[in-house]
Amino acid sequence: MTNLLPLIRNECTKIIKKKRFYVILLILLVLVPMFTYAQMRIAERSRDKFNSDWRLEVQQQITDNQNSLGSDRIPEEWKSYRRIFVQQLQFYLDHDVNPNEPSGVTFTREFLDNSVSLFIPLLIMAVASDLVSGERTTGTIKMLLTRPVKRWKVLFSKLVALLMFVSLIVLSVFVISYLISGLAFGYKGFSIPVFTGFQLSGDTVDMTTVHSVPQWKYLLMQGGLIWFVSVVVAVLAFMVSVLVRSTAASIVVMMAALIAGTILTNMAAAWTTAKYLFMVNLGLTGYLAGTPAPIEGMTLSFSMAVLGVWGIAAIIISFAVFTKRDILN
């Protein structure tokens, strides 16, 4: 036990020295201003059209969605999505709460909702994918394993260091998007109420359990869900980096899986067994916001169970393989 802490510290120093984390911060610093600017233009345009009267804007949004429901060419899944969307908008309107009140906090909330299934996992991969395979590419793995330290301790220290950086990445996504979007939209908005608890059953939304939550608490809950998703993605990428010899291959494998996930969520409604794949279940924040799950029958507990099983399996495989295999080359 005594020699685990120095090992973890060593792994953390390696991650920092490799400057992967700075690259992630840099990516955020470049991309978030772009999203903020785009969002600002949208806000400006709607302000011009609706005289900054959000009620008219929301009502128009409801009407437009209702109109598109009439078209026979729109697939049934989209229609039920829009029906649910209309009912939620109606709920906001009936309770005189602006669902898109422009503020840095609202931007952060929406940005994170959109980035949970692809963008954040990609950032996580930047750190996770070369933890083990990187050592093999450079050959330093031999140095590491010839020390009088048990192999599982080496791997465990790497895993702990990875989980520490997962938390740091999730935190920095929140902080950076809040700080940058705040420049454009203002830093207020923590107490704006957000509705959550929409129970979806088919096309209809059960409003009896809907309750309002201040936006800061919503962000906290959202952060927790994103953290869970990130941990699972990190563990999976970690497993791939144990299994695969080169970092490039390990990144490609994970990336292909994630992108397949986003494609599947858009068209998997017919293939219901796809719901047992981890990449379809990454959008946990959707359950908070009340957006319909990509495949019928998915709930928060289901998605968490699927992600949990994948994550645990990944850890078991990583340790089993790493402690057993011969290090050649």
Partner 1 sequence: MKDSKWTWRSVSLISIAATIILIVGFVSAVGDILNPQGEALSTALPQETAVPTAAAGDSMRILALGDSLAKGTGDNDGSGFVKRTLDGLSADGGSAELLGNMGINGLTTAGLQTKLKEEGVRYALRQANIILVSIGGNDLFRGSEILGNATEGQGAATPGPSPSAAAENQDAASSVHATGTIDGKNSALVTSTPKPGEDELTPESLLAALPDAAKRLGEILQTISEINPQAQIFYVGLYNPFGDIKDLLVPGNQAVTAWNNAAMDIINTHSNMTLVPTFDLFNRHLDKYLSGDHFHPNGDGYQRISERIIQAVR
Q: Enumerate helices (H) and strands (E) in the chain, giving the number of each.
A: 13, 4
Diameter of the chain measured on Cα atoms: 71
Q: Apex CA 68: angle with CA 63 and CA 72, to 5°?
A: 150
Distance between CA atoms of residues 152 and 210, nearest Å: 47
Q: Which is nearer to partner 1, 31 or 221 (CB)?
A: 221
Q: Which is nearer to partner 1, 267 or 305 (CB)?
A: 305
Q: Which is nearer to partner 1, 51 or 146 (CB)?
A: 51
Note whether 104 and 186 are within 8 A (CB): yes
Task: State the nearest-atom distance from the C-beta of 168 to partner 1, in Å.
Answer: 5
Q: Which is nearer to partner 1, 96 or 326 (CB)?
A: 96
Number of other CB atoms surrounding residue 25 within 10 Å:
17
Distance between CA atoms of residues 289 and 102, nearest Å: 17
Distance between CA atoms of residues 263 and 242, nearest Å: 27
The residues of the shown chain that bind partner 1, judged by CB under 8 A, are: 9, 12-13, 16, 50-51, 53, 55-56, 58-60, 62-63, 66-67, 69-72, 79, 82-83, 86-87, 90, 93-96, 163-165, 167-168, 170-171, 196-197, 199, 203, 208-213, 217, 220-228, 287-288, 300-301, 304
Task: State the nearest-atom distance from the C-beta of 133 to partner 1, in Å.
Answer: 23
Question: Angle 20-50/4-17 helices, nearest 10 degrees?
Answer: 60
Note whether 100 and 173 are within 8 A (CB): no
Task: State the nearest-atom distance from the C-beta of 208 to partner 1, in Å.
Answer: 5
Note whether 323 and 155 are within 8 A (CB): yes
Task: State the nearest-atom distance from the C-beta of 107 to partner 1, in Å.
Answer: 19
Q: What is the DSSP string of 251-262?
A: HHHHHHHHHHHH
Q: Which is nearer to partner 1, 289 or 317 (CB)?
A: 289
Task: State the nearest-atom distance from the C-beta of 45 to partner 1, in Å.
Answer: 14
Indicate the residue type of 303. S
Task: State the nearest-atom distance from the C-beta of 327 to partner 1, in Å.
Answer: 28
Q: Which is nearer to partner 1, 79 or 151 (CB)?
A: 79
